[in-house]
Structure 1
Amino acid sequence: MGVEPKQLHVVFFPFMAHGHMIPTLDIARMFVAHEGVKTTIITTPRNAPTFTKAIEKTIKSGASSINIELFNFPAQEAGLPEGCENLEQALGPGTMDKFFKAAAMLRNQLEQFLEKTRPNCLVADMFFTWSTDSAAKFNIPRLVFHGHSFFALCALEIIRVYEPYNNVSTDMEPFILPLLPHEIELTRSQLAPDLWKYKESEYKKRNFAIKESELKRFGVIVNSFYELEPEYADFYRQKLGRRAWHIGPVSLYNRNIEEKIQRGKQVSIDEHECLKWFNSKKFNSVIYICFGSTIHMIPPQLQEIAMGLEASGKDFIWVVKNDDDLGGFEDRIKGKGLIIRGWAPQILILEHDAVGAFMTHCGWNSTLEAISNGVPMITWPMFAEQFYNEKFVTQILRIGVPVGAKRYTTAPSLEDVVNQHDIEKALREIMEGNTADGRRYRAKEFKKLARKALEEGGSSSSDLSALINELRCLST
């Protein structure tokens, strides 16, 4: 008789934002699919619903349990309104710093929990930089989850160490990122202003703390797969000397319709209505437009998108915020377009045969979900590492067309508005002609590789097994 594997307890501590919580839940479910692994997800009361439905489903499927541990979020102590527990509620310039301050106040609760439960591993979000020291107090290995690609991790580190933005005299003058396997150019306008404008800033301090804690931690979990970015997986591990395991694309772990619909918030459209609309459309004919959960478009920009869509004549599905005013646009495009207000079942949409392209803000979750479903992209980055992801999609993978966004901004103004002609041009370029066919062919090849990576013996499946085995060895 074989020896039963020792029970392994892995604790996940995602940052309180949907772009961080959703992939963390997928990863926790991937861990518990391995025999003898149990997991706990730490979150706050108002963020718990993101996890509970999916967890009930996992338990019904017969997998080991995923437990939820609730921490009180000290919103008011940090100067935030009561009930403000998610980054999406705190996107203003001053408010965001208060939110990070409140998140740092969770340290005591984490240490009490670790002391009491003594798990075998803590997988903590990159923003919880202090958690490395907290875990070390109890001799618990800490893994970092960034939610970035290998390419973005490499680019961010090269920029931090070499500061190539100091070699140019204007914000629009391009500079090259040294040492990377490809020649990648950026401009200062595409970087966070706090990075290059000021000697000291909260952003710089946070960045430095993230890198410091990354160097002291046990390793890094990356939501990517080796075949997508082999040169950057090697560069990160060999040239930058980081220990890392690629275990993605984690979204592909959602296999049935129910799992795909329950991912994230309550969807704002009936899936049958959505699929019925799609089924009336031709193969590869629809453009899906969605800018993620933290981006707000100003009214003049919404109008330019609407006019660009009308002028292009393409069928589309567009996800907007509940309070976005589109004028009479919705009445004019009946049959041609579908407007979803609120949260959309993104994976369900991207995997539909009718979808021919995705206009995206280039958040890594959305980007990888498009890659996993073989969908070319119109890239429209705004902030965070989105400009790096645009370079990766358009220049390295060559499966995207940039819309022409020039400036890093968390609060778009009139000078950031992309006009309807540039939008229409990008819509046509992604959908028409031989180069569009070439992009689509490459995207479909990456889709095949993504699925293969998660199969038994595939690169991501093997990396996850190797990580779990290493954690088991450490715990004996």
Structure 2
Amino acid sequence: MASSKDSAGAGAGVVVLFPFMAHGHMNPFLDLARLLSTRYPSFSFILLTTSGNLPHLSRHHLPPSIRLVGLPFRPTDHGLPPDADTTFALPQHLVTRFNHAVQDSLPTPFRDYLATLLASDSPLLCLITDMFLAWTALIAEELGVFHATFYTSGPYAMSIYNSIWINLPHADGRDGDDDEIAVPGVPGVTVRRCQLAPNMRSAESMPDHPNCRFMRRQDECYRHSRAFLWNTAEAIEKPFLDLWAKSMGKPVFAVGPLFAAARGLGKVVDDGGIAAECLAWLERQAPRSVVYVSFGSQNWLPPEEAAELAAALERQARPFLWAAPAANQAPPPAAMRQGIGMVVRGWVPQTAILGNPAVGAFVSHGGWNSTLESLGFGVPVVFRPIGAEQFCNEKLVVEVLRAGAATAAGAKTAEVLEEVMGDGERGREVRRRSKEIAAALAAAVAEGNSGGDGIGESLRALDEFMRLASRGR
């Protein structure tokens, strides 16, 4: 991949990247760091995290220009389990507590570390921090550091998600599932009450809900940021990128999909042979016949629903590969028959699975990484959202992009899958749109020739951001 160092208009410098402590946030930050280190080889990069996350991140193959640094964080000081260095497998009420623990305990060590860097000989070019670490923008402003916020979700979903939590427009005394609710600040967009995450619905009469307070504080802080990076592409979300830029009055850069932009840049992690096992199983299946099922790293179906879905897939003789990083994410063994499906209890090579021709559809919670990866490989998504902004991602893909399907629980999912994977009109249309979007996303991160001609819009945006950061330091 060609370096764009010269186009940045700067010499060597240091870029600090600080992801939120959740796998769905750390992974795109790793991709961003790899991509930047390849395009800007004269720069050095610091990936900041908490000390408890260093062993996990150290397992990734990172180039020498990326250094890991840990900040002190003691989960037990905040009523969290001792191993709660990330949100992995935490129940929702503890995820909220984790968010507040990070916001309360990390600013002081973060400020101290940044001050140490500023006192060193290497010039600090910029600070890129996570959308859930917006308080870092105030500290950067105080110390005179160029600060950018990196959103690991898309602007369509986050515009809706932030607005709902900050404004609570559904607290109108009604409770019908199909009530249409206008989203303040997002013109032309409405949501049905049933499309709200469960904890959103419970906050109807609770303006002091912890999530409300957290999101309002985020909104106040990231307005001090000087630029916004998004793990998305203009090809699928340009109107909402433009809306965000207009509402914030700051430049916005779509630099994704990062999983595709950073593909092949040393992302090898020892998985104990799981990858080979999954791919060997897929090679024995017919093209476009397999349902891939995964609900990410911190979501799980109720056991009875997981069992119902597994049983329905088996009744249809539909082969499935079910990824379950946490033990409570998979269907119980009693629900399984030998030979129809494969349940993998551990981390799987998701992009390699989605890129395999045997996979015909993806049953997903609708987290943004999973959604982007599915769109990037042209695999239709059947959504079963569970929380956070997943309901908004479903709305984007199903209603705006028309490249997936919404579903209800259990056996209903299997019925929707048959329609999406079948040869009827709806299935053909969803697959056609999925392939069109996959081509557009591939073009967004396409590399030009040695002269830079034909570079994809997302790589061009990343270079524009680096030029801006270089001028602003």
Q: Is the pair's TM-score, using the shorter chain for normalization, greater than 0.5?
A: yes
Segments of 5+ residues of structure 2 without an aligned counterpart are: 1-5, 119-123, 448-454
Distance in 1 separating the partners of 2:101 and 2:59: 29
Q: Mapping of 1:398-417 within 5 angstroms? A: 398-404=402-408
Residue 272 (str. 1) matches residue 276 (str. 2): yes
Once the two structures are superposed, residues 78-113 of structure 1 have per-residue CA deviations (whole angstroms, 9 ceiling, x without a partner) of: 233333211125435257415532453011111111
Q: CA deviation at 1:445?
A: 1.2
**Corresponding position: 1:34 with 2:39:** yes
Over the matched positions of the two proteins, sequence identity in percent amounts to 26
Q: For 1:252-286, what per-residue CA distance to the aligned partner results, in whole angstroms no more than 9, with x for missing partners? A: 13433962x53xxx536532332222122222111
8 Å contact from structure 1 (residues 381, 387) kept in 2: yes
**Pairwise CA distance, 1:201:** 1.8
Which of 216, 221, 225 aligns to 1:213? It is 221
Checking the alignment, whether the CA contact within 8 Å between 2:226 and 2:250 is kept in structure 1 is no
| Mean Cα deviation higher: 157-166 or 75-84 | 157-166
TM-score in terms of structure 1 length = 0.87
CA distance in 2, matches of 1:162, 1:83: 34
SS in structure 1 at match of 2:16: strand
Q: Counterpart of 1:220 in 2: which secondary structure?
A: strand
CA distance in 2, matches of 1:135, 1:424: 49
Summarize the alignment of residues 131-210 of structure 1 with structure 2, pairs less than 5 Å apart. Answer: 131-159=136-164, 163-167=168-172, 169-178=174-183, 180=186, 183-187=189-193, 190-191=196-197, 192-193=200-201, 195-210=203-218
The answer on whether the counterparts of 1:175 and 1:187 sit within 8 Å (CA) in structure 2 is: yes
1:100 is aligned to 2:100: yes
Shifted more, 169-178 versus 209-218: the winner is: 169-178
1:434 alignment counterpart: 425
Asked whether the equivalents of residues 73 and 103 of structure 1 are also in contact (C-alpha less than 8 Å), the reply is: no
Secondary structure, aligned partner of 1:342: coil
Gaps of 5+ in 1: 60-64, 405-417
Match of 1:20 in 2: 25
Matches within 5 A, 1:321-470: 321-322=326-327, 324=330, 326-330=332-336, 332-334=337-339, 336-404=340-408, 418-420=409-411, 422-432=412-422, 433-456=424-447, 457-470=455-468
CA contact (8 A) 1:55 1:66 kept: no
| TM-score (structure 2 length as normaliser) | 0.88
Structure 2 vs 1, CA of residues 234 and 50 (structure 1 numbering), >3 Å: closer, same or farther?
same
* Deviations 1:357-401 (CA, angstroms, capped at 9, x unpaired): 100000001100101111100001111101100100111111111
Rate the CA distance shift 1:196–1:344 in 2: closer, same or farther, 3 A: same
Per-residue deviation, 1:52: 2.2
Contact kept in structure 2, 1:165 and 1:188, CA below 8 Å: no
Shift of 1:424: 2.0
Distance in 2 (CA, whole Å) between partners of 1:139 and 1:357 is 48
Matching residue of 2:471: 473
- Deviation at residue 34 of structure 1 after TM alignment: 2.3
Partner SS for 2:260: helix
Over the aligned positions, Cα root-mean-square deviation in angstroms equals: 2.4
Q: Which whole-Å CA distance do the structure 1 matches of 2:429 and 2:306 have between them?
A: 30
- The alignment partner of 1:87 has SS state of coil
Question: Are the counterparts in 2 of residues 362 and 380 from structure 1 also a CA contact under 8 Å?
Answer: yes
Please name the residue that 1:66 is paired with: 66
Matched position secondary structure for 1:245 = strand
Q: Contact between 2:32 and 2:262, CA under 8 Å: does it hold in 1?
A: no
**Greater mean deviation of Cα atoms: 99-108 or 177-186:** 177-186
> Structure 1 residues 241 and 472, CA, compared in 2 at 3 Å: closer, same or farther?
closer
Give the distance between the partners of 2:173 and 2:354, measured in 1 at CA: 40
Give the direction of change, closer, same or farther, for the CA distance of 1:268–1:340 in structure 2 (3 Å limit): farther
Q: Which runs of 4+ in 1 moved over 6 A?
A: none
Equivalent residues of 1:12, 1:42 under 8 A apart = yes
Which of 291, 299, 315 is equivalent to 2:295? Answer: 291
* Equivalent pairs, count: 448
- Note if contact 2:255-2:462 (Cα within 8 Å) is conserved in structure 1: yes
Structure 1 contact 287–356 (Cα < 8 Å) conserved: yes
